[in-house]
Each structure stands twice: as C-alpha cells, then as structure tokens.
Amino acid sequence: MKKHNFSAGPCILPQEVLLKASEAVLDFNESGLSLIEISHRSKPFVDVMEKARALALELLNLEGRGYKVLFLQGGASTQFLMVALNLLEKRAGYLNTGTWSDKAINEAKIYDDIYEVASSKNANYNYIPKGYEIPTDYDYFHCTSNNTIFGTQMKSFPKCSIPMVCDMSSDIFSRQLDFSKFDLIYAGAQKNMGPAGTTLVVIKEEILGKVSRHIPSMMDYKVHINKSSMFNTPPVFAVYTSMLTLDWLKNLGGIAAIEKENEKKARLMYSEIDLNPLFKGFSAKEDRSYMNATFSLVNEDLKETFDTMWKEAGINGLNGHRSIGGYRASMYNALSLDSVKALVEVMSELESKA
C-alpha cells in the first residue's frame, strides 16, 4: 500500500512518473538498453535533456526571454557558492529567512562582502521580513522563496533594480509567479521535481561575464550554457525523471492547475491547525508556506498517542526538522488532497479522544 508521504525531501513524486522511470531503468523506449547504461551523447538521451530544458522554460513562461536552463549536479548547496563565484564582484545583498539562506550567505562570504538586507533569525525564522531596502549599487540580491524547514514562504517579492537571484528549491512549479522578475532561479530537484542528484538552474544569460575572477570550469555557468548542460556527464536518471515530472505537470494543466490543488491542500491543513485546540502553528499566518506546514502539539504528553495514530494511518515523514521540532507536513505537487484529508482526520480523531 502506498503511504501518505509528507516527507520534506527527497519527497513524493507522481506514481506514474515512478512507474515510467522504473521501466526506463530496465528498458528505455524499447531499445533493449537501460536509460542508465547508454551514452549521454546518444540521440535518445540528448532528446531527453532538450525536452527537460524546454519544459522547464515553458512551464515558467520564460520562453524567448533570454533565459537558459541547466541541469547541474551538487545540489542547491553548490549553487550557494556558484552564484557568488559567477556574480559577486564587490557586494551582494541577502535576505536571511532561514537555515538555507544562512548557508547561502556563509558560502558567498568566502568570496566577497555580503550584506544582510534583513533577517528573521532572532525569531527563529518564524516570519518573512518586510519593508527592507535593497541597495541599487550591489551586484545582486538573493532570497529564498520558500523556507522548507520553518514553513514560511515569500508571498511577494521586493522591487529590485539589480539582478534578483532566488533559491526556489522547495516551491518551484507550485504557484504562479512572474518568473521574469528573477534573473537566476535555482532549485534542487528532490523537493518538487525529481530525485536527488540534479539541480535546475534558470538563468538570464545577460547577467553573466561581469566578474573579474577566473571561474573554474565546473563552476562556470557560461561553460555549462555553451555545452547545453552537457559539459560533463549529466545525472541521466535524475534529469530523465525530472523531465517526466515536468511533462506530468504540463499535462495536468501546468502551474495554474497545480496551484489550485496546492491552495486546497494548504487551506485544509491550516484550518485544522487553527481550529483544533490540541495543535498550534509555528509560522506567522501571513507568511505560511503552502508547501511545508509546521506545527506542534500544545500538550507534549499527547506525542506518543498522536505519533502512533498517524503512523497507523499510513502517514510517513511528518516529524519536524530538528531545529524547530514538532511536525512538518510537506505538501508538494504530487501529494494528493486525500493524503491531507487522511492527516486532518487523524488530528481531529485525537481531539475527540483527548
């Protein structure tokens, strides 16, 4: 029986994607060969890569606007330093909204001066700072659209006259945004797109080539762009599975369609957190994430009972991150409304028992 998988990442993928991906591992397109044993330079795989890149641009509505798509390795964590290496000459502004922003800041600091435009660290990142200024003479501004660990999400983005870089690892393809406001978007695949092992980078080419340092080839966006994301052997399985997920999303009706589903799930989840007196939410209401809902029991004595109940209901991956404790329900694109209903049922059953 398939579990209700609320895991924060790696996380749930559409069942039909898993099925197709597993078939391709055994026999790719009836070629008598596995997807993972053919050359990445062969036409069948080059087609996969090209389709994945095209689908990403199409879904983000960024076709014909000077953006390039890369599927790189090293996770979003490598992007923390790659962004700095490629874009940071003197100074950059960072919005510090959680553990991942903080890590991005620390990596960039290795290369040059970093200025935190605002931070919610003093409140254990339970809200998104607002009303800050972004200096107009900096190299770029960096933010994190969704804070996976703390369950906050940026509902709007600041006016920004310098290049805007965004870590969208945990909410890419989940809601409609004007993606053309961003000059560089990156996202580890394993939160909303595919298996771990590849990171999507969408970059406006014109922002490159402005730093004076020598950039090592593997760290240089231009090198990867010039080689159509095939400078070295790409993670073929991760790229293929991501392509399948993007295709699944397109067939569903794209981001507009999935956004409606995501709103339904989040509304149901948060209304239970708010109405059930046994639970309390972690993050500021106006900044609540539609992807990761963080909450805890008001009375910790009920922990054992609750934990047994949700596990018995076939629910997986509900434990909160160690830095905030409690629970975290991650409701990525592939999670069905029925899974959220199952969780909400357990929560209200606890209430009727207590």
92-121 binders of ligand PLP (CB under 6 A): 100
- Total site size for ligand PLP, rule CB under 6 A: 12
Strands 292-297 and 279-281: antiparallel
Task: In angstroms, give the least distance from the CB of 76 to ligand PLP.
Answer: 4
Cβ proximity to ligand PLP: between 83 and 344 the closer is 83
Task: Name the residue number minimizing CB distance to ligand PLP.
Answer: 75
Q: Are 158 and 135 in contact (CB under 8 A)?
A: no
- CB nearer to ligand PLP: pick between 221 and 306: 221
279 in Cβ contact with 295 (< 8 Å) = yes
Taking the C-alpha atoms of residue 258 and residue 264, their distance in angstroms, rounded to an integer, is 10
- Scan residues 159-198 and list those touching ligand PLP (CB under 6 A): 167, 169-170, 188, 191
Q: Please report, as residue ranges, which positions from 218 to 277 form the binding site for ligand PLP (by CB under 6 A).
A: none
Among 9, 93, 195, 320, binds ligand PLP (CB under 6 A): 9
248 has catalytic annotation: no
Q: Which is nearer to ligand PLP, 9 or 281 (CB)?
A: 9
Assigned token pair, 90: 């003197």
Minimum distance from CB of 83 to ligand PLP (Å)?
A: 12
Subset of 310-339 contacting ligand PLP (CB under 6 A): none
Q: How far apart are CA 278 and CA 195, in angstroms?
A: 35
As a three-state string, the secondary structure of the chain is CCCEECCCCCCCCCHHHHHHHHHHHHCHHHCCCCHHHCCCCCHHHHHHHHHHHHHHHHHCCCCCCCEEEEEECCHHHHHHHHHHHHHCCCEEEEEECCHHHHHHHHHHHCCCEEEEEEECHHHCCCCCCCCCCCCCCCCCEEEECEECCCCEECCCCCCCCCCEEEECCCCCCCCCCCHHHCCEEEEEHHHCCCCCCCEEEEEEHHHCCCCCCCCCHHHCHHHHHHCCCCCCCCCHHHHHHHHHHHHHHHHHCHHHHHHHHHHHHHHHHHHHHHHCCCEEECCCHHHECCCEEEEEECCHHHHHHHHHHHHHCCEECCECCCCCCCEEEECCCCCCHHHHHHHHHHHHHHHHHC
Site string for ligand PLP, 119-148 (x = CB under 6 A): -------------------------x---x
Residue closer to ligand PLP, measured from CB, 165 or 347: 165
Min. distance of Cβ 8 from ligand PLP in angstroms?
8
In the stretch 144-163, what mask flags binding to ligand PLP with x, by CB under 6 A? x---x---------------
| Residue 118 C-beta: closest distance to ligand PLP, Å | 17
Sequence letter at residue 188: G
Least Å from the CB of residue 145 to ligand PLP: 8
Closer residue to ligand PLP (CB): 163 or 197: 197
- Catalytic residue (one of 139, 167, 171, 183): 167
Catalytic one among 20, 68, 191, 204?
A: 191
Q: CB 221 → ligand PLP: shortest distance, Å?
A: 17
Nearest-approach distance from CB 148 to ligand PLP, in angstroms: 3
> 100 catalytic, yes or no?
yes
Binders of ligand PLP among 60-89, rule CB under 6 A? 75-77
Catalytic positions, please?
100, 167, 191
Which residues sit at the interface with ligand PLP, rule CB under 6 A?
Answer: 9, 75-77, 100, 144, 148, 167, 169-170, 188, 191
